[in-house]
Amino acid sequence: MHVVGSIIARLGSKRLTYKNLLPFAGKPLVGLGVEILRRAKSVDEIVVSTESELIARVALDFGATVLRRPEELAGDKVPSVPVFQHIVENHPCDVHVNFNINFPMCDPAVIDRAVELASRDGEALSNPYAVWAQSAERLANYEDPQNIPSAFRSVFEDERAGPLDIHTESDLLETYRTSQGLKPEGLPEGF
């Protein structure tokens, strides 16, 4: 079984500018995401889908394959499924697993669990929503990518996905605080 792990990362972010390039634990989120996918035992190939040359170059630095996202798939209102389908069209696989890099504290075991469930059931979504996996057959047969069914056959609760979903500066700050155990060491007085 061939598994493609993906990260979909656009440069534009309405709530947190350049979010995918911001550092967490000393690494840009996109680079950290590549490293987390690499530590998953089930992932054979890592693809970053982006419209941004800057994100592409960072992804290359971390050893990912880069797939240029066409303009029609690069808008902020484009659902994920057509982007996933574009990835699988260009990188054929049995199972595709997307890692949402808004969860930088996600354990790679969550990725492996999603792949296992998707290979059995066709699709799996972690809760919190850090990992979403589909068989290639499932991706090819979505009837309406704009209307994703709310009931998946394999939604699985997994706290190892991480406690926070980064969308704003305060989310990123809270993620840092959580990962550092709220330690004030090293901060100037008043923070």
For residue 159, give the CATH number of its domain: 3.90.550.10
Q: Is residue 96 part of a domain?
A: yes
Q: How much of the chain, in percent, has pLDDT values that exceed 90?
A: 65
Question: 190 lies in a domain?
Answer: no
Q: How much is the pLDDT for 166? A: 85
Closest CA to 30 of 71, 4, 74, 60: 60
**152 occurs within a structural domain:** yes
User: Does 116 score more than 70 pLDDT?
Assistant: yes
Q: Is residue 38 part of a domain?
A: yes
> What is the pTM assigned to this prediction?
0.88
pLDDT at 187 over 60: no
Kindly state whether residue 11 falls inside one of the protein's structural domains: yes
Q: Rounded mean pLDDT of the chain?
A: 89
Q: Which of 94-108, 145-159, 173-187 has the highest mean pLDDT?
A: 94-108
Range of the domain at 19: 3-179
| Total number of domains constituting the chain | 1
In this structure, is residue 188 part of a structural domain? no
Is it the case that residue 148 has pLDDT exceeding 80? no
| Residue 156 is assigned to a structural domain of this protein | yes
Cα angle for residues 131, 155, 101 (degrees, 5° grid): 15
